[in-house]
Structure 1
Amino acid sequence: MPETKITVIYDNPADPAEFESAYPEKQLEAAKRIPGWVRMETSRVWPKEDGSPTPAYRMIDLYYTDYDAASAAVATPEAGAFFQAMAQVSTGGVRVLFSDIEIAQH
């Protein structure tokens, strides 16, 4: 069965300390309240060795059984609250992607 993933990519914030202060409750906990996901992954992008900016800062991946389930989830009040807070927290920019999961076989 194909899965669908919603990926939130946070670009480098204007103030990383302020972002990190707000992220746990306003984004991570809010994402957990979005209904229907079967798996969630969060990640922080490693800094580059030379100190130059990375193409992204953090990501949240929410996995759903299919596209319809993901689409229904983003139409909920919980998702609305998440996206509203995301607009306030993401001072460096943010991208949201819906992706069809393709699993490579050996």
Structure 2
Amino acid sequence: MQTKITVIINNPTDPEAFERDFPELLTIAKSLPGQLRLESAKVWPKEDGTPTPAYRTLDFYFESYDAASQAVSVPQAGQFFQKLGGMGGTFMGLFSEVEQ
């Protein structure tokens, strides 16, 4: 059964600075081993001008839970989370079973 790791990135303190650093974060994200694919999405702004519930999401797809678990134990994962943590926002990660 495929596993997806979703990283939900909350609204950063400085969105412009976050976007400047985002390409480097994405490059690190793409280096995690065993991925079937990676999806990056930016949350649409709310029409009423209130803050969005989150800023961006990253979805990493893997063949299995074991493959996903292995990917987050490599040095590149440490680099990814260290970089993300230093970009002015908070985040949450979820491991999910992909139902198709």
> Is TM > 0.5 for Structure 1 vs Structure 2?
yes
Indicate the residue corresponding to 2:50 in structure 1: 52
Which of the pair has more CA radius of gyration?
1
1:34-73 CA-to-partner distances (Å, cap 9, x unmatched) read 1110011110000000110111100110000010000001
Counterpart check, 1:30 vs 2:55:
no
Distance apart, 1:24 and its partner CA: 0.8
Paired positions, count = 100
Indicate the residue corresponding to 1:42 in structure 2: 40
Write out aligned runs for 1:60-75 (5 A).
Answer: 60-75=58-73
Percent identity of equivalent pairs: 54
Distance apart, 1:86 and its partner CA: 1.2
The answer for unaligned runs of 5 or more in structure 2 is none
1:69-103 CA-to-partner distances (Å, cap 9, x unmatched) read 000010001111111111101x2311111111112
Which residue identity lines up with residue 99 of structure 2 in the other structure?
E
The answer for unaligned runs of 5 or more in structure 1 is none
Structure 2 length-normalised TM: 0.96
CA RMSD of superposed structures (Å): 0.8
Instruction: Measure the CA separation in 2 of the matches of 1:59 and 1:34.
Output: 16
Instruction: Measure the CA separation in 1 of the matches of 2:79 and 2:12.
Output: 20
Counterpart check, 1:94 vs 2:94:
no
Structure 1 length-normalised TM: 0.91
Which residue identity lines up with residue 48 of structure 2 in the other structure?
D
Counterpart check, 1:3 vs 2:31:
no
